[in-house]
Structure 1
């Protein structure tokens, strides 16, 4: 009875074929009318809307794409994810890991592990499972359909805060140099040993710098309140060999900031300079050394002016180059706010050659004279290299320093001759007396020439 009932309800093959034929004919007719009446652009728009609608409702995943570059600056969300994801190595679903040993001081140290390209990393946030994928060194994706709003509002903020905490406790700093051919920063591990504890410098000046750096690191709210970019500028000037580079290293180690060492001579023009500097990270040091030789000082500009007046090198005059205004605009102009918590350090051997515009307050907040060796600096060097606090020869050596100019680098070279304090200090006395005699002879020759 039941079988006969269902047999009556099931349509015949001919009926199904008839319905299929009718639908096919209707579809062809509808497509023809659609193509004839509706313009191509309107059809494409409708198709795209239908596709987006069905994809958003029936696709099981939603993907956030995070790329390294965003407009003219580095994508800080990418940097935060790049810092945060290595802490999730336990959640990688790949059969491989990057193994790196970057401790130059201890080759036997435990290696560090990284995430290879194409690897998938799982994370959990407030009970929500998440999946990251490292597609390349410049693109990361995060996949999840549900809780999209929470991820956008809370999870990315959590990653940003976590990355800041991680960077504050980072063990290995980096020093970056710009490669103009590849148009990108290249980095190496920065393991300079100089700290403020080992830096040979006048005690009062050293303490002043430490207080200034500490106040800067805690001054985010202050800079925001007064409406200034969160940055600090230092000008280190003095003769070669007086410890300018060592002071930069001490600042980097004290602040836990990586260094971006920019050779301004290799930058083509102002546009390239903006592109280079906006691709640096927060909490970093921008170092421009030998500013007096960069072409932005007054002497170089005077030479260029003389060439223009003489009508020489017409082809060279048309060549683009970094201008003083371009550099100033980034140091103290609108572009200076692109990166937060930045320290800008310029070094020069000849402060008098710099354009006065570079020395204006607000651009170089602190001017630090790295001078010749003093008795205080000498004692610090002797304690470091000879491991002595007192010696009978200290007093006569200190008296010679009042008459002879010697750089800390020259003194260090003499102290490293021997571990025996007597031998090293005698050699230093002979070196200083030789410099004194040479200086006396030069002064005599000058006076005779003037006479």
Structure 2
């Protein structure tokens, strides 16, 4: 289109029109941000996004956060991967740092488009969400829970479909795994029975390790070797047709270190811990839902039960799980649980032995030998004392002489007290 010198707009008119248009856009954006509810904005963005997608040569892949009861690993991998790829030009990001995490966690916010390039191929990501209501029935009362459903849309040219599915997404999964391993902070997961009835988590910041465990050296060595063998045998379990899981029964008196051993196992394997209280579970479907919600590379801890899960079809849901039963009294367990094949290893957490005491003395007093060790060994051969009780005495003083003499006095008083009330247990 040509303008004559008479009809062509002046520079001032063009500048004025541009300024007016810019002001209008800013005004509309301000009105939208201030007066339109977030849910309506999300819906408008979603419809506009669908319209633009339908008119292009682009193919869009929808990656939902979950598939029924199963967590979608691709969604969570994308969230991790894109958090590392965010550029300085991204207008909105989400940042958080839970207590004791190694660093900031950066992820993309809703409705923000991101562009990634893979082998010369351009890919566009956007995080979207919708919501739906669930009717909850608990304790004969009805309630409504509003659930947010998040999903990614990945758009690219249709000709690149095979490359995206065959190369790009596997690459994304691997990169996300590497990022998570680098930044991983172990978690302790428990169920919020008064709220969502689902897993919530806090950081598992427990210092226990196999080096600090005051337990029988032979039992410790056997357990470490079994864990190492389990970790490297994924293909073996698949070849023989068994779920990649391992079960351990920890039994012994309170204070013998069962909980600390679970923490030591988690720190050794870099596994999260899921603490499952079966007394709060009302039906098998709730149990299955919670078990399926546990992540790969995890330890599930419970006091009793889970036989249906171990033997049934649900045992094939998920991989790389360790199931730990803890009990103070093995003789009170259902005999069915103790049959061969139910638990892979039975680990007796004994009273403090002399080797266990030497571990505690090394940890608490930084000594490997002392002239009082022989006398303490004699007491340990006569009196049953838990590692927790011995450690409690050693913590009372930093001076080795004072601490060890205090421990001997404690043994003497304990023996006298138990002899008087007839409860003395001589080994």
Is the pair's TM-score, using the shorter chain for normalization, greater than 0.5?
Answer: yes
- 1:315-354 paired onto structure 2 within 5 Å: 327-354=306-333
Tell me what 2:205 maps to.
191
Query: Relative to structure 2, which stretch is displaced further, 381-390 or 75-84?
Result: 75-84
Tell me what 1:33 maps to.
none
TM, length-normalised to structure 2: 0.77
Seen in structure 2, the aligned counterparts of structure 1 residues 442 and 424 have a Cα distance that, compared at 3 Å, is same
1:110-135 Cα shifts (integer Å, max 9, x gaps): 54434334443332222212222233
The 8 Å contact of residues 94 and 120 in structure 1, kept in 2 or not, is answered as: no
Aligned equivalents of 2:95, 2:59: Cα separation in 1: 28
Larger Rg: 1
Aligned equivalents of 1:371, 1:277: Cα separation in 2: 30
- Give the structure with the higher percent helix: 1
Seen in structure 2, the aligned counterparts of structure 1 residues 98 and 365 have a Cα distance that, compared at 3 Å, is same
Seen in structure 2, the aligned counterparts of structure 1 residues 206 and 167 have a Cα distance that, compared at 3 Å, is farther
Tell me what 1:178 maps to.
191
Tell me what 1:5 maps to.
none
Seen in structure 2, the aligned counterparts of structure 1 residues 97 and 347 have a Cα distance that, compared at 3 Å, is same
Query: Relative to structure 2, which stretch is displaced further, 72-81 or 84-93?
Result: 84-93
Seen in structure 2, the aligned counterparts of structure 1 residues 169 and 208 have a Cα distance that, compared at 3 Å, is farther
Tell me what 2:225 maps to.
211
Tell me what 1:163 maps to.
176
Tell me what 1:64 maps to.
61
Tell me what 1:435 maps to.
414
Aligned equivalents of 1:349, 1:257: Cα separation in 2: 24
TM, length-normalised to structure 1: 0.73
Residue 362 of structure 1, aligned match among 334, 341, 347: 341
Tell me what 2:263 maps to.
249
Aligned equivalents of 1:363, 1:160: Cα separation in 2: 34
Tell me what 1:280 maps to.
294
Aligned equivalents of 2:89, 2:244: Cα separation in 1: 37
Residue 129 of structure 1, aligned match among 122, 141, 144: 122
Seen in structure 2, the aligned counterparts of structure 1 residues 444 and 123 have a Cα distance that, compared at 3 Å, is closer
Aligned equivalents of 1:206, 1:120: Cα separation in 2: 52
Residue 378 of structure 1, aligned match among 336, 354, 357: 357
1:382 to partner: Cα distance: 0.8
Tell me what 1:102 maps to.
99
Aligned equivalents of 2:87, 2:121: Cα separation in 1: 17
Aligned equivalents of 1:213, 1:444: Cα separation in 2: 38
* Secondary structure of the structure 2 residue equivalent to 1:90: coil
**RMSD of aligned residue pairs (Cα, Å):** 2.4
1:64 to partner: Cα distance: 2.0
The 8 Å contact of residues 100 and 114 in structure 1, kept in 2 or not, is answered as: no
1:57 to partner: Cα distance: 7.3
- Give the structure with the higher percent strand: 2
Equivalent pairs, count: 354
Seen in structure 2, the aligned counterparts of structure 1 residues 57 and 354 have a Cα distance that, compared at 3 Å, is same
1:27-71 Cα shifts (integer Å, max 9, x gaps): xxxxxxxxxxxxxxxxxxxxxxxxxxx998743433322222213
User: Is residue 2:152 matched to residue 1:140?
Assistant: yes
User: Is residue 2:219 matched to residue 1:240?
Assistant: no
